[in-house]
Amino acid sequence: MAAVSNMSRIYGSCFHAVRQAAGLKTSRLLQRRSFRFSAVVQQQPDDSSLDKPQFPGASAEYVDHLEFIQPNVISGIPVYRVMDRQGKIINPSEDPQLSKETVLNFYQKMTLLNTMDRILYESQRQGRISFYMTNYGEEGTHIGSAAALEPNDLVFGQYREAGVLMYRGFPLDRFMAQCYANADDLGKGRQMPVHYGSKDLNFVTISSPLATQIPQAAGAAYAIKRENANRAVICYFGEGAASEGDAHAGFNFSATLECPLIFFCRNNGYAISTPTNEQYRGDGIAARGPGYGMLSIRVDGNDVFAVYNATKEARRRAVAENQPFLIEAMTYRIGHHSTSDDSSAYRSVDEVNYWDKQDHPISRLRHYMTARSWWSEDDERGWRKQSRKTVMEAFERAERRLKPNVELMFTDVYHEMTPGLSKQREAMWRHVQQYKEHYPLDLYEK
Ligand SMILES: Cc1ncc(C[n+]2csc(CCOP(=O)(O)OP(=O)(O)O)c2C)c(N)n1
């Protein structure tokens, strides 16, 4: 009872304040605080509206019956598709009508990524590099989205977006140099494999802790907006990373600060061994967009044209209207999570085979090209041979290349080396001299 009378006292004093404000013309406080609030007070000063104040945190009707909102109010968000599994355009008005040259480039980048993955995966298995992550099955999400961006748009990746960087022109030699941590690695050999980055290509260096890129992307997009730079930011992440608190922070900041940002979720079914039915309860990631006040769409990530159309339109509007967009691309991770994972422990071979053989982004695009006589069996054979040769040559060059100068371990953090770092450096050299046989310094740049 005491609580109820307290509540009515609080509400009573609020209504008193509203009445007073309505009686005055419009107080300065009201003008400053809420346009909607002062408009209601001014336009509808009758008793019924005074009894139904507009709370500052929501615009809604009042109801007089108790009902919880069902989670399935936002469920079954449709999957936008342009091509069917046979590569046939479903609705001609959605055909992006890309030139033959562009489509062939899509196909060649998707398959080159596949070939690079195969060689580097094997290379890890043979102990030549320490770690690797393949992109099998997600090639459509990479190439379709990358092609829809402008080169000066800024990319924040998670780690499984090598195709985006490849589309932007990162050479095979640079991919290999990073994985081999050799002297040509832009990261100076300091990161584990697949942590690529390129300032020239506006691709922010990958960092392993999940979802850190999401609030960073929001901050970068806010800066870009303030510069009025006619650029967008795209931020890739998996549906697993979307469970991190950082994802919420990034979504909410970018929506409230109205940032030109495209959130691109690759929903590939698994976060290592955690399947989506253990990852979340709502309708995937797209369903969260409206909760943040973001325009959202779910697309077929194995349909490179659907990904392209959705990203292109999101990019156009993000820049023109300064607001974030959320794209959830449904796809499937065909490979193991990484070389540290064996996915046969948590999913069936039949399941993987379905996506590999029946619904693959590369075969779908190939059907499209074949139907237009843009690609033949001979072209395929020739391209496979040529791309494998190119990848192998880059791989051999990377393997032969020296490792970075050891001293680089201690640079780039402080302008002047700190005493602590200096001591570590001396200790390192003492150790290396003492155990010379384990440290083949001739393999390192001087
Ligand atoms: C903060 C944090 N927690 C856990 C991990 C370990 N980890 C690395 S990848 C990964 C799964 C991420 O899955 P998802 O975001 O769906 O991306 P996918 O690997 O499927 O592309 C986990 C749990 C991490 N790197 N960082």
Are the CB atoms for 109 and 143 separated by under 8 Å?
yes
Are the CB atoms for 264 and 299 separated by under 8 Å?
no
Average pLDDT value for the chain: 90
State the pLDDT at residue 2. Answer: 39
* Catalytic (active site) residue 348: no
Mean predicted confidence (pLDDT) in 12-37: 34
State the pLDDT at residue 424. Answer: 96
Q: Which tens digits make up the pLDDT trace of 285-342? A: 999 999 999 999 999 999 999 999 999 999 999 999 999 999 999 999 999 999 999 9
Give the domains, in start order, of the chain with CATH numbers.
1-75 (no CATH), 92-400 (3.40.50.970), 406-443 (no CATH)
pLDDT at 24 over 80: no
Catalytic one of 5, 75, 122, 399: 122
Nearest-CA residue for ligand 1 atom 17 is 238
* Catalytic (active site) residue 338: yes
Q: How far is the CA of 210 from the centre of ligand 1 (A)?
A: 6
Q: How far is the CA of 329 from the centre of ligand 1 (A)?
A: 17
Tell me how far CA of residue 162 lies from CA of 169, 230, 318, in angstroms: 11, 25, 24
State the pLDDT at residue 46. Answer: 58
Atom of ligand 1 nearest to the CA of 133: 19
Mean predicted confidence (pLDDT) in 120-131: 97
Q: Is the CB of 271 under 6 A from ligand 1?
A: yes
Give me the DSSP letters along 225-268: HHHT-S--EEEEEETTGGGSHHHHHHHHHHHHTT--EEEEEEE-
Per the model's pLDDT, the better-predicted residue between 111 and 69 turns out to be 111
Atom of ligand 1 nearest to the CA of 270: 20
Atom of ligand 1 nearest to the CA of 211: 1
Confidence band of 53 (pLDDT split at 50, 70, 90): confident
Atom of ligand 1 nearest to the CA of 266: 21
Q: Which tens digits make up the pLDDT trace of 153-180? A: 999 999 999 999 999 999 999 999 999 9
Residue 297: what are its φ and ψ, rounded to 5°? -150, 150
State the pLDDT at residue 27. Answer: 34
* Catalytic (active site) residue 415: no
Q: Is the dihedral of CA 272, 276, 277, 282 positive or negative?
A: positive
Kindly give the residue spans of alpha helices, DSSP state H, lying in 126-151: 139-147
Q: What residues have CB less than 8 Å from 316, skipping those under 6 apart?
A: none
Q: How far is the CA of 236 from the centre of ligand 1 (A)?
A: 13
∠ at Cα 136 (220, 114), nearest 5°? Answer: 95
Q: Which tens digits make up the pLDDT trace of 251-281? A: 999 999 999 999 999 999 999 999 999 999 9
**Cα 226 versus chain centre, distance:** 22
Half-sphere exposure of 390 (CA within 13 A, CB side): 18
State the pLDDT at residue 263. Answer: 99
Q: Which tens digits make up the pLDDT trace of 419-442? A: 999 999 999 999 999 999 999 999
* Catalytic (active site) residue 296: no
Q: Which tens digits make up the pLDDT trace of 174-207? A: 999 999 999 999 999 999 999 999 999 999 999 9
Q: How far is the CA of 159 from the centre of ligand 1 (A)?
A: 9
Per the model's pLDDT, the better-predicted residue between 57 and 360 turns out to be 360
